[in-house]
Structure 1
């Protein structure tokens, strides 16, 4: 495959998107970062981009829900990494309409523009939530899709829209499906930052939702590596590919590991407002990542319990820096 000349990253202002933008720049790619327009002229996490990449990428401020803006942003690009999405599950119970507009229609805007402009590769971002509670483990890409929240339903719709453009129009698009990513810059609506920020602020009783469900946690460096491998592989077009560690751990055991690493004897408790509706809770996620290794040559560097511990140490180090911790409201429940 010939090298890509210019890459558009949607959602570049977010957690994974900002790390991905930095990694692409470091690898010599010409990157245009699509960020959410706002009157503060904020580029999200790209405002804090590492010194070695600052000023070395282009920024386009717009709205993924606007087809004209998406088309303008994509002009001159020959590949698109589409990460822009609403991702908070609790907020999807509150405002499901916005998830349809952003996740499904926003994805449609990306696909239509890519088709019109003859883009050579579109990488569409899915989520492990589309699988719902595992019917078998580890979860491979043939596992049934289950929309257990408006969020996951909107992502299933977006994934299928992307694959339909491959089947209907021959658009060179593939679906990358990361499992639960964690690391520096992650929103406090996710469980690992929730635990770390409460402990870092001296809490002795950590408030969480359900602690028995299991997850397959992936350090952001591994997830970013998966995106780049997916982009560069000729074998990813038309495919759905899991990016996961192939390691399962409960929320409760994860909290205990973090408390141990932070030298805390805090008690892990349950806050009723953080619980998902019973049938909406995804009880078990555990990735089968063999397809990623076969098609992309990708394997996690932060694998098994030992790898998770290394990734958590780096995450804790970032969150406990005073300048970073001050940006999080650890005493509030973030939906």
Structure 2
């Protein structure tokens, strides 16, 4: 099968590209290589997928370009069966500083993808959405019927794209699914995320640093579970037109997370607190009953198991990964 992965050099997109190539598919990855964090990590993700293509029956082609480039997207879509749309200007806090950039890439770029997919009669578009669409919780865990009141331009953009995907399904018959990711982590994760920063600081004998009072809670989802949900949608049409939570069903306070990392690496370290940042939701927690019912999704790791795996991976890859964290 020919698969187009947008944002294919990013954390989730890079893992998707590698996994589909390993399964014998032909993958085209498009990425603008935006230096939102150290570009070396994106280059590494490309190399991993290329290595998979050299050692399996799959194929891989990387294209540097933007999802806002109508002609480029149209050309790539002509040779595509299924689209995994991961491309976005990431970062809640960054979106508060540059909302226009979020509109350009997340909303306009996504509409370009959907229109080209409609034109070329693509089998399915799987859209990467976010728990940020919910905003302030009226109750937890969030189910898909919870009101959507984003508290950042990033969350608002993801909600807008969900509506575009739904409309393209309802009006044009384009098979689309939106997956609401809940804070994804794991090997090769973005170096400016809390877990990678906590691990890096503790490895270097420094206390983990928390923004705010640490009472915020998050539902962290291990990358392998995200891959499982996406792979299920390669041929399964039972969720077309829907938006679904993809989380772990487990949440943890940021302080408890920092303590778990600290205790696994150096229990003698203290916890450091600093000023809170704008745009962050106070709490996230996923109800995944819909995804379980429609596609059989079940998470395989709770946060402590996943953090333990990430620490082991970090230790094995510290020589090249840690400098990227320090430069983020």
Given the two structures, how large is their TM-score scaled by the length of structure 1?
A: 0.89
CA distance in 2, matches of 1:182, 1:42: 14
- The residue that corresponds to 1:183 in the other structure is 186
CA separation of 1:54 and 1:30: change in aligned 2, threshold 3 A = closer
1:311 maps onto 2:312 in alignment: no
1:226 maps onto 2:229 in alignment: yes
CA distance in 2, matches of 1:138, 1:33: 34
How do 1:282-293 and structure 2 match up within 5 A?
282-293=281-292
Report the RMSD for the aligned CA atoms in angstroms: 2.1
CA distance in 2, matches of 1:88, 1:43: 16
Q: Deviations over 1:80-110 (max 9, x none)?
A: 0000001111111111100000000010010
- The residue that corresponds to 1:20 in the other structure is 16
Q: Structure 1: 5+ residue runs without aligned partners?
A: none
1:10 maps onto 2:6 in alignment: yes
Q: Deviations over 1:26-50 (max 9, x none)?
A: 2222211112268999963423406
CA separation of 1:109 and 1:315: change in aligned 2, threshold 3 A = same
Asked whether the equivalents of residues 2 and 81 of structure 2 are also in contact (C-alpha less than 8 Å), the reply is: yes
Asked whether the equivalents of residues 197 and 325 of structure 2 are also in contact (C-alpha less than 8 Å), the reply is: no
Q: Deviations over 1:167-206 (max 9, x none)?
A: 2211111111111110111112211111111112221x32
1:74 maps onto 2:77 in alignment: yes
Asked whether the equivalents of residues 71 and 113 of structure 1 are also in contact (C-alpha less than 8 Å), the reply is: yes
Matched length: 319
Q: Structure 2: 5+ residue runs without aligned partners?
A: none
CA distance in 1, matches of 2:40, 2:249: 40
CA separation of 1:257 and 1:311: change in aligned 2, threshold 3 A = same
Per the alignment, in what secondary structure is the counterpart of residue 138 of structure 1? coil
Asked whether the equivalents of residues 70 and 113 of structure 1 are also in contact (C-alpha less than 8 Å), the reply is: yes
Asked whether the equivalents of residues 197 and 325 of structure 1 are also in contact (C-alpha less than 8 Å), the reply is: no
CA distance in 1, matches of 2:220, 2:10: 18
Q: How far apart are 1:317 and its partner, in Å?
A: 2.0
Which range is displaced more, 129-138 or 92-101? 129-138
Per the alignment, in what secondary structure is the counterpart of residue 3 of structure 2? strand
Match of 2:211 among 199, 209, 222: 209
Q: How far apart are 1:319 and its partner, in Å?
A: 2.3
CA distance in 2, matches of 1:9, 1:25: 11
CA separation of 1:81 and 1:157: change in aligned 2, threshold 3 A = same
1:35 maps onto 2:36 in alignment: no
- The residue that corresponds to 1:86 in the other structure is 89
Q: How far apart are 1:329 and its partner, in Å?
A: 4.2
Per the alignment, in what secondary structure is the counterpart of residue 108 of structure 2? helix
1:158 maps onto 2:161 in alignment: yes
CA separation of 1:298 and 1:324: change in aligned 2, threshold 3 A = same
Asked whether the equivalents of residues 179 and 218 of structure 1 are also in contact (C-alpha less than 8 Å), the reply is: yes
Given the two structures, how large is their TM-score scaled by the length of structure 2?
A: 0.91
Q: Deviations over 1:55-86 (max 9, x none)?
A: 43122221112111111222211110000001
- The residue that corresponds to 2:299 in the other structure is 300
Q: How far apart are 1:240 and its partner, in Å?
A: 0.6
CA separation of 1:162 and 1:235: change in aligned 2, threshold 3 A = same
